[in-house]
Every structure is written in C-alpha cells, then in structure tokens.
A and B are shown apart, each in its own frame.
Chain A
C-alpha cells in the first residue's frame, strides 16, 4: 500500500546542484512552485477546505437554502440517531459493504491468479474482465441490471427452475439489495488488475525454492503469494470498502428512484441526497455527511492499525 505509505515526496536531500544559486535561487524555486501549484491551491481552498468548514458549520444548524442557517446545536445529530430511516440506511449500507466488498475481492483475486499464468490471449482476457469496471457506473448498465433482475427475466426464471419464486429481485425488498451487490461484484476488474500487477512482482525464485522444499500449491499460495501480495490486498480492501460506503447511482437507478421498494436499497448516500436535495434539509444532510466522514475515517484507521498484523512489506525495498 505504497499510495499512502510513501506519500511524502522524496526525502529532502541536500541540493547538490548549483549551491551558488543560493537564497535567490531558492526564492525563485518557491515562487515557481507556488505558481505551478496555484490551480490546485485555489481548488483546495475553494472546493475542498472551505466547503468542509462550511458543512461542519451547517451540521449544527437548521438550513433550508432560503433563510440563513440557524444554530441548533446538536439537534441534527440527536434527530438523526433516532430517525428510523437513517438507521435503516446505515443497516442497508453496512450490509452492502460487508457482503459486496469481500466477494468482489475474492473474485478479483481468483481471476487474477488464473490470469497470472502465462497463457495465450492473457491480455485479451484481462481487458474483457476489466470492461465492466468502466461501464458499471453508467445509467445504461443500471437499466440493464433492472431488466435482468426483474420479474420473469433471466435471473428470475433461472431461480424458478430451482423452485424459488420471489417475483424478480427488483420488486422484492428482501432481494433487491443483492441485485446491487451483484452489480458491485460484476465490476471486479479494477481490483483484479491491481492484484495482477502485484502478482507479477512476486519473485519467481521463492516459488522455485518452495517447490524444492516440497511445498504444494496451497502451501505456496498461503506462505508465499498471500504475504507477498498483502500490501496490494490491503490497498484493495481499503479502496473498495471506502467506495462501497459511498455507493449511490446504482441504488438510485437499479431500484426505483426512491431507493426502494420499502427503503430496501436506501443506501446512506441516497438518504443524504433525499434529505439535502429533495427536502432541502441542508443542516441534517451535512450532519449525515460528517457522520459518514467520521465512520470512513474510523474504518480507515482500523485498517491501517490492522495492517501491522497482516501486511508484509519487503524490508529490502529501496
């Protein structure tokens, strides 16, 4: 998981080049640096940091867009925690994250192991498995999903062969969330590509040595492959679970636009959207957003803390 681990830029070594340029040169470098960075700095202040502070403020106000925000203290939070629909949205989201993420990663790893073998047409397979990750978020695919999982369509008919008639997953509150889970799993190509790249970096000698020692394929996977790709696994777990917490479009499009039936696909973002943009309760929606940020931060922190126990970083790297 080099993305975060190596986040700080190169260790700031001494400027070996042109020490004579001295302070004036350094000042010029600073100026150039900030000039090049100016779009990012403007974006960070205007579209990230500023809005974050504003939404933290809104979270403690009652704000409907038309009258100025009014301070209400913790009211939004207390109402939120007691709101049955909010509780429902937490439940739906957790179910989605906990079911979809492991299954998606398992499939991604399985297919990556399959594709890691050197075979003809490997690149083509890799590309084809990746395609769903590019189109999965589109409204078009949402419609396709709705069609495939509706009453009397292919999934329903296949299920009926096994004597289970649920009238299509889309209309059934107990099943519709699994149509969304299926849509998430279908997009396993993105983590698969990252797994594949990780698998390519495992030194071949390790396998050869293990084979000489008589380790079977399962032992080799467990004792070599898994520890060696654990940083990549960590990266995928982190990214995919954070993404899963934020799902919106598929819930909105695959189910009816109210994230139903019976709030069965009322994922967190969907409820936030309804509160903020349908009911103009900007204060409540901001409180929801900050609660999500804290939840995601906690999950991230737990994952980072846990990585000491299971993520293996090459000592020799660099």
Chain B
C-alpha cells in the first residue's frame, strides 16, 4: 500500500525483503553444517553396521531396528539400563546437592551482612578460575583413604558442599536483584533468615535455580573424567563409561548398537534442552554480563 504512494519506499521494502531472504538462506546453510553430526547420528543408528561409515547417505535407505534391539543384550553381562540408572542417580543427586548448597551460600552472600563476606566472595570467584587438575590427585587420595572410591560419593560430595562456584555466582546475582522491600517486610513480620530464605528468596529465585539444576544435570550426565577416575566395577558404570566399555569390547563386532546407544545417551540432554532452552541460554548470557 505504501508502494502506491512512494516508489522510493517500494524499493526500500524490496531491498529489505531480499536482505531477509539472504539472511535466512545464510543462517539455514550454517545450521545445516552445525547440526549435521546430530542428524547423522540419528540416521546412522538405523543403518546396518557395515553401512554406517561407508555410506554417505544421511538417512538410511531401509531403516533397521537391529541396532536398538541389539542393546537388549547388554554389554558383557551388564544390562544397558544399569548404566542409565547409575547416570540418573548421579545426575539427580548432583542436582539436589547443587540447588540446596549453592542457594544457601548464595543467600548468605546476597542477603546477610556478615564479617568477612567480601573476602569469602573473592575466594569463591577465585575458585572459578582454578584448573581442576590441581585437585584431581589429592581428592582421589582423600576418597581412596576414606574407602569411598567405586561409589558415587566422590562425584557428588562437592555438589553438596557448594564447590560449583559458577552456580553460586549465578544465584548470588539473581538474589541481589530481588527487591529489598521483601526482606524488610519479612523481617518486620518476625521472619528469621531461614524463613526468609525458604519462603521468599528460594521461590523467587526459581529461574536461577532451574538454570543451575539443568546445567548440573547435563554436566553430570556428560561427565566422563569423574566416573573414569572413581568408578571401577562395570555394574557401577555410568553411561559415559558404559559407552567406552562398549567400544573396547564390541566396538567392531557390534558397531551399529554402539552408535544406537550413543544416540539414546544424547536423548535426555536434548529433551531437557528443548524444554528449557530459554532458561539455559539466558543463564549463560547473564554470566558474562550482569555485574
């Protein structure tokens, strides 16, 4: 309708439309490259083993279920569900630990004025930049002396003790942003810190808690080095170690099933991502910005 009145606007509109098309073509092309490995693994799990590497077709010509049904046999007498169960236990415990301990710590940093707070906060931020290598060996020695290797304890102990500084930081930022009037009102009503934490700070910090919870779940689910160091009997193995065992023992004879299990292992992460992507991305973005 503007085009009828002004030819200049008409061309401007047209240029904008070509610009928009070019933008989408570019973004889609890039997307195809970036998501290729993900689509590839979906297609590959439905191909016969011998075709997986050799065939360049992204999707199988005739999908087969053999790779998935092959998983029912387990690996060297351990059922696949055992790996998933162990990973789930690890991830759930990690989430509970991180949410509880980090939110308590964050509440203290954000809402309680106590002597030494600034010093402790600086120390906490310092641990963010510390390479974990320096802790790897002494922590192993510690848990070995306590006879806790081959259990989940070494993997989740730190989560219950707020050592995940990134999440503490995220929650501190969030709680500092909560209106002060609420704490003051709570105080006037005679609420102590525990009540204020539990019935005001915690519910209002839900977005930060959700972000931390999902990241923790995914990190624990993907964790490889922790289980590699601490777990040594196959029935305690998480999915990551189960996959490695699969590769070492049946990687050649049963390649298709190994790829199928890789896909199944990705499913929870992708599902969480699809359900909560906004929380995850906004949480990440905040980490670099808010002061």
Assess whether A44 is in contact with B134, with CB atoms less than 8 Å apart. Answer: no
Q: Which of A15, A128, A153, A235 contacts B288 (CB 8 A)?
A: A235
Query: 7 A-B Cβ contacts within 8 A?
Result: A1-B288, A3-B125, A4-B129, A36-B197, A37-B109, A186-B34, A190-B284
Assess whether A29 is in contact with B53, with CB atoms less than 8 Å apart. Answer: no
Assess whether A39 is in contact with B101, with CB atoms less than 8 Å apart. Answer: yes
Residues of B within 8 A of A (CB): 20, 23-24, 26-27, 30-31, 34-35, 37-38, 40-41, 44, 52-54, 56, 100-101, 104-105, 107-109, 112-115, 117-118, 120-125, 127-142, 144, 157-158, 160-163, 168-169, 176, 184, 192-193, 197, 218, 221-222, 224-225, 228-229, 239-240, 243-244, 247-248, 258-259, 262-263, 265-266, 269-270, 273, 277-278, 280-281, 284-291
Q: Which of A139-166 contact B (CB under 8 A)?
A: 139-141, 143-145, 147-148, 150, 152-154, 157
Assess whether A201 is in contact with B224, with CB atoms less than 8 Å apart. Answer: no
| Interface SS, A side | helix
* Residue A262 CB within 8 A of the other chain: no
Interface residues on A, range: 35 or more
Q: Which of B104, B244, B285, B290 contacts A253 (CB 8 A)?
A: B244
Q: Look across to chain B and name the residue whose beta carbon is closest to the beta carbon of A151.
A: B53
Assess whether A39 is in contact with B118, with CB atoms less than 8 Å apart. Answer: no
Assess whether B138 is in contact with A154, with CB atoms less than 8 Å apart. Answer: no
| Interface SS, B side | helix
Assess whether B31 is in contact with A232, with CB atoms less than 8 Å apart. Answer: no
Given A117-B23, A232-B288: A277 touches B229 (CB 8 Å cut-off): yes
CB neighbours of B31 from chain A (8 A): 125, 128-129
CB neighbours of B117 from chain A (8 A): 9, 33
Q: Which of A94-138 contact B (CB under 8 A)?
A: 111, 114-115, 117, 119, 121, 123, 125-132, 134-135, 137-138
Given A52-B135, A154-B56: A8 touches B122 (CB 8 Å cut-off): yes
The interface bits of chain A over 45-59 (1 if a CB of B lies within 8 angstroms of the residue's CB, else 0) are: 011101110110010
Q: Which of A9, A196, A293, A317 contacts B133 (CB 8 A)?
A: A293
Given A143-B262, A246-B131: A44 touches B224 (CB 8 Å cut-off): no
